Every structure is written in C-alpha cells, then in structure tokens.
Amino acid sequence: MEKSKKDKIEFAKVMYGLAGNFGGQISKDDLSLRFEVLKEYSLDEIKQAGIWLLKNREQTFPAVPTTREIIIAVEKIDNPQAAISIEARSEIQLQCVLNKLRTEGSNSDVDFNDPVTQELMTRRWPYNQWARTVLEDEIKWFCKEFKELYKVYDKNKVVELGLLEAPGEKTHQIPAGNLKKLISRQ
C-alpha cells in the first residue's frame, strides 16, 4: 500500500520530534530510508512507538533512536509480553509449574495461561503423569531443562527437531537427520 504525502509528512514529524528530543539530527536520506523500512507499520504504530521511546528509552547513544529501536518499541506495544526477556518469562513460567505442583499436586487440571508452558506440560512432560512420578532430586534437572526448552520454543521447530516426545518417552536425543537440518539453517 502506497502511503500518502500526508502520511510522509506525519512520519517526518515523528522522526524529527524523536531526533530533537534526544538531542540529535536526522538527514533527509536517513528519513527516506527509515520511511521505506517502516512502511509495513501503520502511522499510528510509529507514533505510539515514538511516545513509548520518549517515555522509556534509557540509552543516550546514538542520540537519535535507531530504526531497530522503533521496531522493537512497536513490538513491545503490540505484544507486551515481549517486553519481558525470554529468560525472565522462562523463570516465571517455571515457578508457575512448581507452584501448581506444590499447591494442587498431580490431580489438577493442566490449564497454564502461557501457551508455551501449556504445550510443554502437555506434550513434553504430561503434567499429571510428571507430577505423580517426579522425585525431589529430579526437580533441579527439570528446572534446567524446562527453562532451556522454553527459551528455544517454536512449536514447529521443536517438534521437527524431535525435542518434544510422545507422552512417556524419556529420550532427549535429537535424531541425526534433524540435527543436520538445524545445522544447515544456521
């Protein structure tokens, strides 16, 4: 979709406003490049990202927020969970699982709000079976594995690589063919 001249003027106002607020300058060439890169986002999303940066930006260099910073701000606004690091989310979700184990035991519903946790505690570690059989000295290994799998979780990729086994399987090996696929993607 082609943006109108009015959109380009509004976009320029946001970019010059950000630059001026942070004590920097932006060239017309940089402005054109930013417009091209950011054209997949609506003007409203870009304005909201600008406001978010004005309120939350902590770094002082470079003086003008980068295009990448603007994209990240849009993503944080569109998906507030993205504002929390994956490490923090994995730890929070691990604590949800452990709290459920402590407070509800093995006969509770598997109803985690987080889709990754729900998937892991349904497919990788079927919660009710896991909660009945897990031993205290296995918890530290579960914690480590849970956080690692949570961080790399992408449903299609994890299943394709063989990291999510059918209920009851205990193997953690990646099939050789899938390992080759993983290496070739990088």
Tokens of 83: 């504002």
Residue 76 domain boundaries: 5-82
Q: Judging by beta carbons within 10 Å of its beta carbon (0-12, 13-18, 19+), is residue 38 exposed, middle or buried?
A: buried
18 touches 64 (CB < 8 A) = yes
67 and 105 both lie in a single domain = no
Amino acid at 181: K
173 and 148 both lie in a single domain = yes
93 and 175 both lie in a single domain = yes
Q: What percentage of the chain has pLDDT greater than the value 90?
A: 42
The per-residue pLDDT for 82 is 55
The per-residue pLDDT for 60 is 77
22 and 45 both lie in a single domain = yes
105 and 165 both lie in a single domain = yes
180 and 114 both lie in a single domain = yes
Spans of the chain below 50 pLDDT: 1, 165-186
91 and 179 both lie in a single domain = yes
The per-residue pLDDT for 177 is 46
Q: Which residue has the tokens 């507030």?
A: 80
DSSP state of 121: I
Count of domains forming the chain? 2
The per-residue pLDDT for 143 is 95
Burial 68-97 (b: 16+ CB within 10 A, else e): ebbbbbbebeeeeeeeeeeeebbbebbeeb
65 touches 57 (CB < 8 A) = yes
68 and 121 both lie in a single domain = no
User: Of the residues 22, 53, 82, which one is the last residue of a structural domain?
Assistant: 82
The per-residue pLDDT for 73 is 87
In tens, the pLDDT along 29-51 reads: 999 999 999 998 899 999 999 99
| Listed residue (165, 156, 164) closest to 185, CA to CA | 156
User: Of the residues 58, 82, 106, which one is the last residue of a structural domain?
Assistant: 82
Q: Is 159 helix (H, G, I), strand (E, B) or coil?
A: helix
